[in-house]
Amino acid sequence: MNRRKFIQCISSIPAASLALPRATLMEPGRKYGAEKPEINYEPRSTEPLRIGIMGIVGASVYYVDRVAQSLNFPCRKIAVETDKVQLCWCRPSDNLLIGDCGMKPATIKDAELMARDRRSDIAKLVSGLDVAFLLTDLDGIAGKGVTSVVAETLGELDVFTVAVLPGVADAKVANSLNRLVDVSCNLPFHALINEADAQQRILSRLDFEVEATAQICHTITRFLEQSEYPRSSGAKMSWLLKGEKPCVMGFGDDNGPGGSLAAFEAATKSPLLGAEWCNLPGYRMVFVEKGPGIQTCDVHPILDRMREVIPNKVRRHFRIIENEHLITDYRVTILSRG
């Protein structure tokens, strides 16, 4: 099955109109329809999803290798840079150097034009992918312009595209990129600091940033890979989570009797979600990973607690995910429309 057409069936979301020209990064926002996508019940292939972890200009290039290792799933590691020195510090399986002739783009538009000159090379770089995770902190003028062109190219190739924005402070720019992809998730800098403090981790802020980024990639990959109808699942995820702003996430884990509820409580209290996440309009997707030997019935208490925490007026989607590599008994991840 060719799963590079995940979002072909969504007519109400701009990102799904793949045959049409995409918005530029700084184009004013558009409203998103509430109409459900058509359900495409084409069964999953026996072949694994073809995943790409892509670092786009700046610090995110350094994350690629570490995120790929944490994903624990076959994937291609791809880096797109404008500075050849940056590429020397990462180990992607594929990379593309754009520019680096001593000239720095003066505007985002100049950076976009520079990237468009290499659009055919970008297309070759991502050819064959089913799902691409764009790791980008939208670093500077070059980062903003190059990221938008990469996102547009992935859309034209029918690649299901998830943008992960670690430490992005500019909400306007993050919202603009959100319009170019199928799903995007923002990890605000201040929330990453608060999260590390709340969990009393020894990890630095950067380490936790990588961990949170990897968890988003891992959860979405497992969700699609274990879906009986992955094309329909990708369309549904985009419809549930795509709004004017990137979605937010929180996660937590625990062990033993009562561990599923403890993991859920830890996820709901994550600073990454924000204090008012459960009362905001929109949709929530709750994923419960269970380790080896854990019975499905052991996670059912989360359903009752979820109904208590998330108001009835808010739509909820619940999914149990098998994870034979999980080092704890339970891990809960919540994705909430921003």
Closest-CA residue to 181 (of 211, 213, 149): 149
Q: Where are the domains of the chain?
A: 46-241, 248-336
pLDDT at 127: 92
CB atoms within 10 A of CB 88: 9
Q: How confident is the model at residue 221 (pLDDT cuts 50, 70, 90)?
A: very high
- β-bridge pairing 75-81 and 315-322: unpaired
Strands (E), 220-282: 248-254
Tell me the per-residue pLDDT of 69-85, one tens digit each, with 9 for 90 and over: 888 889 999 999 888 88
- Please give the angle made by the CA atoms of 324, 246 and 197, to the nearest 5 degrees: 65
Q: Are 126 and 52 in contact (CB under 8 A)?
A: yes
Q: How confident is the model at residue 267 (pLDDT cuts 50, 70, 90)?
A: very high
Assigned CATH topology for domain 46-241: Rossmann fold (3.40.50)
| Torsion-angle region of 8 (φ positive above 0: left; ψ -120 to 50: alpha; else: beta) | alpha
Same fold, 46-241 and 248-336: no
Q: Are 38 and 9 in contact (CB under 8 A)?
A: yes
As a whole number, the mean pLDDT across the chain is 80
pLDDT at 103: 66
Over 50: is that where the pLDDT of 151 sits? yes
Give Cβ neighbours of residue 325 (< 8 Å, ≥ 6 apart). 72
Q: What is the Cα Rg of the chain in Å?
A: 19
CATH superfamily membership of 248-336: Tubulin/FtsZ, C-terminal domain (3.30.1330.20)
Over 90: is that where the pLDDT of 53 sits? yes
**CA–CA distances in Å: residue 304 to residues 185, 221, 260, 308:** 27, 26, 12, 7
